[in-house]
Amino acid sequence: MNNKSEDKIKTKDTNKKTYTETLLSIIVLALIIAIFVIFFHKPNIVDFLEQIKTTYINSMLIILSSIIIFSILSYLILKNKKTLVKVLRLVIVFSIIFLIAFFYIEIILNKTYNNEETFANFYDTNLKDENVKEKEHLDTINSLLNGELKTKTDKEVFIEKSLSQFLYFRIKVYLLFIFYVIIILILTYLMSKIDRKIRYRKILEKDDKIIF
């Protein structure tokens, strides 16, 4: 009876692990697809923050790729499980440090650039032509909401699109943040799994010594 109960418990644990791993794989795959779809989007306006955004996101991708590649190589190459646990622990610590650093930089970028005044100043300095009268554009949403014809100038259109583009940039960044967290969780799970095996072996070795 005891053996049957143990088998049932083991089966349940195995099913739980399989379900968790499958769910995690689906989430990671969905995130990868979402990131690729979003990253293929190209702005149709002059984006004076393009270089800053590109550098920031590329840095995140390079470090994230390095973490993943290094972790996979460590797992495949290192035969000593204790050493592997130590390496994975270090990778997790550095991953958390990079995540915090990138999050802090994102907060600074958001406070500095994500406002109407910044884009308005850029437009006045670089795009506005004093000799040409600004065109009037139909503001469809406000016209429908207010029940009367509303228009907006070239400057207002530029500010609106720039704010929308910055929001799009932030969505990219937060998708990468989620990806970072998932990788950290996977590495933590892997490390704890290996660590449990090491402890279990130690217990078995102690039991063998007591028996003999």
Q: Is the pLDDT of residue 4 over 50?
A: no
The domains of the chain are located at: 41-124+136-211
Q: Would you tell me how many other CB atoms lie within 10 Å of the CB of residue 159?
A: 20
The pLDDT value recorded for residue 14 is 55
Q: How far apart are CA 64 and CA 98, in angstroms?
A: 9
Question: pLDDT tier at 111 (50, 70, 90 boundaries)?
Answer: very high
Question: pLDDT tier at 91 (50, 70, 90 boundaries)?
Answer: very high
CA separation, residue 199 to residues 103, 109, 111, 122, 205 (Å): 36, 46, 48, 61, 10
Q: What percent of the chain has pLDDT over 90?
A: 19
Q: Which residue has the higher pLDDT, 106 or 30?
A: 106
pLDDT in tens, 53-66: 889 988 998 998 89
Contacts of 115 (CB under 8 A, 6+ apart): none
Answer for the pair 153, 137: CB distance below 8 angstroms, yes or no. Answer: yes
CA 31 to chain centre: 8
pLDDT in tens, 133-148: 556 555 555 555 555 5
Over residues 78-97, the mean pLDDT reads: 90
Q: Is the pLDDT of residue 205 over 70?
A: no
Tell me the Cα Rg of the chain: 27
Q: Is the pLDDT of residue 129 over 80?
A: no
* Mean pLDDT (the chain, rounded): 76
| Six-digit token string for 163 | 């704010």
pLDDT in tens, 22-49: 666 666 666 666 666 556 656 566 678 8
Q: Is the pLDDT of residue 155 over 50?
A: yes
Q: What percent of the chain has pLDDT over 70?
A: 62
Residue with tokens 């149709």: 44
Question: pLDDT tier at 101 (50, 70, 90 boundaries)?
Answer: very high
